[in-house]
Structure 1
């Protein structure tokens, strides 16, 4: 296993802004305003964050959504937020030459290089949590102290936003059939939130 511990308790603004976009696409603006107000984040509806945000704010938003949205709507919205985050990273954070190179490489090598880049930037999405990766197949990614489900109790995995972000990146840069499944979640009592990546047709 290799990994690194993210320091600090702040997360990139995508955790708020992309979720707001996903909610706006699914719900009337007044309902989204009410959700942000319930999470104590009404100010972000007036002025979306442009810098790192307190991870406790992100956790509060996810707790509020879990408490107030029907399960199917919650799953759809959190996945959409993750996909939008992946699209933003592809458009603004991963250089085009790097993307082109990864697409030319065999999937196992491209996956290893992409994981290395994710590890270097894990502090931007894991906050004070610890990111780790297990090479091999299926590839496994984990976040211990996950800020998205902190303080939650759930019967199903609660970190669909991360799963969708990882899936978008790996599908665009590693293999078009890549899929990511959250196989363990701290909200369900696990020691860490674990995501498995597969891309073989026979899986």
Structure 2
């Protein structure tokens, strides 16, 4: 059967091709997912419980020495899993929600410019919420890691904010950590948060984690 040099070259090229593609480096995420979870554990269950759970997650090196730079997203994934495996479900959710609240507070104090903290609460919630969603999208690595973030706002007088993370690596059932982060930010900068609804969750088999916040003007 006739062949060509090009055909033979393709055969040899296929033979030399590695069986699996090179591994991609792990995604990075902000350190507060670990720092504030440690703070929440210590506050709600004591430093001894925090130590045990950090060690169970393979993160004993962070006890007393918190990370100061971006971290491997698999580390908070392991920590959240250890919290859920060690504590009763309601208590685990309390810890993760408190950690999310603390993370939101940290972002407000250290990542939101002072001028924005002054101006956004004075704007109509339909406008301030849209500006905040845009800012969150530009810094989504803080909480989304390898996940893909999208946000939108509908309505103006009583806007509804919809925040979605596809393939959310930090998903836990109901996502109390993410919900608390978002609630802290929007309640502080955009008006009263009337309700927080987690309508879809990657931890329950959905493709997206979807959090919806209903806002009302600050009296």
Q: Same fold (TM over 0.5)?
A: yes
In structure 2, the partner of 1:147 is 169
Task: Tell me whether 1:117 sits opposite 2:135 in the alignment.
Answer: yes
Deviations 1:35-86 (A, max 9, x none): 0011000001131101111000111111111111111111111111011111
Deviations 1:89-127 (A, max 9, x none): 111110111111111110011000000000000022211
* Secondary structure class of the residue paired with 2:149: strand
Counterpart contact for 1:39–1:61, Cα < 8 Å: yes
2:204 to 182, 188, 201: 188
Distance in 2 between residues matched to 1:183 and 1:92, nearest whole Å:
30
Distance in 1 between residues matched to 2:195 and 2:118, nearest whole Å:
20
Return 5+ residue gaps in structure 2 as ranges. Answer: 1-24
Task: Tell me whether 1:173 sits opposite 2:195 in the alignment.
Answer: no
Q: TM-score, normalised by structure 2?
A: 0.82
Counterpart contact for 2:84–2:92, Cα < 8 Å: yes
Instruction: Please report how far the alpha carbon of residue 138 of structure 1 lies from its aligned counterpart in structure 2 after TM superposition.
Output: 2.2
In structure 2, the partner of 1:98 is 116
Q: TM-score, normalised by structure 1?
A: 0.88
In structure 1, the partner of 2:80 is 62
What is the root-mean-square deviation in Å for CA atoms of aligned residues? 1.7
In structure 1, the partner of 2:61 is 43
Distance in 1 between residues matched to 2:61 and 2:45, nearest whole Å:
19
Instruction: Please report how far the alpha carbon of residue 181 of structure 1 lies from its aligned counterpart in structure 2 after TM superposition.
Output: 2.2
Counterpart contact for 2:42–2:48, Cα < 8 Å: no
- The structure with higher relative contact order (CA 8 Å, sep 6+) is 1
In structure 1, the partner of 2:180 is 164
How many residues are aligned here?
A: 189
1:126 to 120, 144, 155: 144
Which of the two has higher C-alpha Rg?
2
Instruction: Please report how far the alpha carbon of residue 28 of structure 1 lies from its aligned counterpart in structure 2 after TM superposition.
Output: 2.4
Return 5+ residue gaps in structure 1 as ranges. Answer: 1-6
